[in-house]
Amino acid sequence: MKQYIVDAFTDKLFGGNQAAVCVLDKWLSDELMQNIAKENNFSETAFSVKEGDLYHLRWVTPAAEIDFCGHATLGTAFVLFSFYEKDAVKIT
């Protein structure tokens, strides 16, 4: 697993909304993702798995999994475009 720390909604170091982004080969157990989110202690940690041509996302806070997180989604897109899909025009 690779983990990245991203700052969304800013162009300044240590600004914006911070989130952890974990890019996985396969889904981890719910318990392990929850423990990673607790250890990170950010408002949200995003977990992403590529299945076929699609990337799937899950968002976990230190307390529970949540339905959606905007800044962690944008942070995940930044990580995927920057390190995994450098030639992509769009990611789904």
User: What are 62-86's pLDDT values in tens digits?
Assistant: 999 999 999 999 999 999 999 999 9
Side-chain-side CA neighbours of residue 61 (13 Å):
8
Q: Determine whether 51 is an active site residue.
A: no
Domain-by-domain residue ranges, the chain? Answer: 2-84
**Within a 10 A sphere around the Cβ of 59, how many other Cβ atoms?**
23
**2-84 is classed in which CATH architecture?**
Roll (3.10)
This prediction's pTM: 0.94
CA 29 – CA 24 distance, rounded (Å): 12
**Across 46-55, average pLDDT:** 96
Selecting among 31, 39, 44, 51, the annotated active-site residue is 44
Residue 90's pLDDT is 87
Q: Which of 27-31, 46-50, 88-92 has the lowest mean pLDDT?
A: 88-92
